[in-house]
């Protein structure tokens, strides 16, 4: 009789990554000093504010800033969305408080550039749609900080490429990356016509396989499907990609539409950070 192996190579690999996760998923202490990006804020009660932070070791964290709107408050001026802060967070999961905050990086160039802010707003929106609170997202945190620095310095088509690349990284990390190899309907890998990216089928379909008008406004020529595949494989090389005029925008529209459907949330341009997001109940 053939001896059954307890763990196949695949299982061992799985266990190893589980071990790594357990080892590196730190539990947040009741008082922690953190570097974080402020994602959004929302006024609560008379003087309080609910702040959503993106931290390197714990990912998204929602904290209550008590009395922050009372003047004078030492913390009040340091909680602008899309600034980086060094802060002290106290409390336990589901009920965390901001004890102190100090601005580390104002990203003033970013804030002076409407186009760049609009890209970051979309990315923040997707981040909050894709991920749960208090999951470590170190690589993504670094990428977001880098995007805050880079976006205002880039021409429009490179701004688009950077947003697309980061959207693709988030789709991959949340396990809903689109199947880009072949048409989800006919299985053709090299389409001869434009394709439609469609989150409801988890990938793309040739225009003739796509049996509705939905999403056809965001159809992609073959060249852009190739660009999308390349960006999915090499997101860190996004800025090397060359686009013809308007192509980057066309690809961005398709990717945003995919993200909206995949994360079941609307991505609105000029989204206002000050009025955001359903939040935990601190009452
Ligand atoms: Zn097809």
pLDDT (tens place) for every residue of the chain, 283 residues total = 444 444 444 444 444 554 444 445 567 888 999 999 999 999 888 888 999 999 999 999 999 998 877 655 555 556 899 999 999 999 988 899 999 889 999 999 999 999 999 999 999 999 999 999 999 999 999 999 999 999 999 999 999 999 999 999 999 999 999 999 999 999 999 998 899 999 989 999 998 898 776 666 678 999 999 999 999 999 999 999 999 889 999 999 999 999 999 887 766 544 444 444 333 333 3
Residue 3 inside a domain? The answer is no
pTM: 0.83
The sign of the torsion formed by the CA atoms of 211, 217, 223, 227 equals negative
Residue 206 alpha carbon to ligand 1 centre in Å: 4
99, 126: one domain: no
Which residues place a Cβ less than 5 A from the ion ligand 1? 183, 185-186, 188, 206, 209
Number of domains in the chain: 2
pLDDT at 47 (0 to 100): 84
Domain assignment of residue 73, yes or no: yes
Same domain assignment for residues 209 and 97: no
Q: Is residue 222 part of a domain?
A: yes
- How many angstroms separate the alpha carbon of residue 229 from the centre of ligand 1? 17
Domain-embedded: residue 10: no
Q: How many whole angstroms from 99 Cα to the centroid of ligand 1? A: 56
208 CA → ligand 1 middle, Å? 7
Q: Which of 47, 81, 106 is the last residue of a domain?
A: 106
From 76, 106, 136, give the residue that closes a domain: 106
Residue 1 CA to ligand 1 center (angstroms) comes to 46
Classify residue 34: in a domain, yes or no.
Answer: yes
How far, in Å, from the CA of 160 to the mean position of ligand 1?
27
126 shares its domain with 101: no
CATH number at residue 148: 1.20.1440
* pLDDT at 24 (0 to 100): 53
Q: Do 64 and 124 belong to one domain?
A: no
Final residue belonging to a domain, choices 59, 79, 106: 106
Using an 8 Å Cβ cutoff, are 107 and 85 in contact? no
- From ligand 1's centre to the CA of 180, what distance in Å? 12
> 227 CA distance to ligand 1 centroid (A)?
19
Domain that holds residue 127: 113-278
Please give the distance, rounded to the nearest whole angstrom, from the Cα atom of residue 184 to the centre of ligand 1: 7
Please indicate, yes or no, whether residues 65 and 163 belong to a single structural domain of this protein.
Answer: no
Question: Are residues 95 and 145 both part of a single domain?
Answer: no
């Amino acid at each position: 009789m053939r001896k059954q192996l307890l763990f196949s190579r695949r299982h061992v690999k799985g266990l190893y990554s589980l071990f790594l996760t357990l080892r590196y998923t730190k539990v947040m202490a009741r008082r922690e000093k953190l570097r974080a990006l402020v994602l959004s804020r929302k006024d609560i009660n008379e003087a309080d504010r609910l702040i959503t932070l993106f931290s390197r070791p714990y990912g998204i964290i929602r904290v209550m800033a008590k009395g922050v709107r009372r003047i004078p408050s030492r913390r009040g001026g340091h909680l602008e969305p899309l600034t980086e802060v060094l802060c002290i967070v106290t409390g336990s999961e589901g009920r965390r408080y901001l004890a102190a905050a100090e601005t580390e990086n104002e990203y003033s160039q970013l804030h002076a550039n409407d186009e760049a802010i609009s890209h970051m707003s979309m990315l923040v929106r997707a981040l909050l749609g894709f991920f749960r609170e208090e999951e470590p997202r170190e690589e993504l945190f670094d990428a977001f900080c880098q995007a805050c620095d880079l976006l205002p310095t880039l021409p429009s088509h490179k701004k688009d490429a950077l947003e697309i690349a980061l959207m693709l990284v988030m789709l991959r990390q949340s396990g809903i990356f689109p199947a880009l190899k072949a048409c989800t309907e006919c299985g053709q890998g090299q389409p001869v016509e434009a394709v439609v990216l469609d989150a409801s089928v988890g990938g793309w379909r040739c225009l003739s396989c796509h049996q509705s008008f939905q999403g056809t406004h965001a159809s992609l020529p073959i060249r852009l499907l190739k660009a999308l595949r390349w960006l999915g494989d090499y997101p860190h090389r996004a800025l090397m990609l060359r686009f013809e005029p308007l192509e980057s925008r066309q690809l961005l529209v398709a990717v945003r539409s995919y993200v909206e459907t995949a994360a079941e949330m609307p991505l609105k341009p000029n989204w206002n950070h000050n009025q955001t997001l359903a939040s935990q109940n601190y009452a």
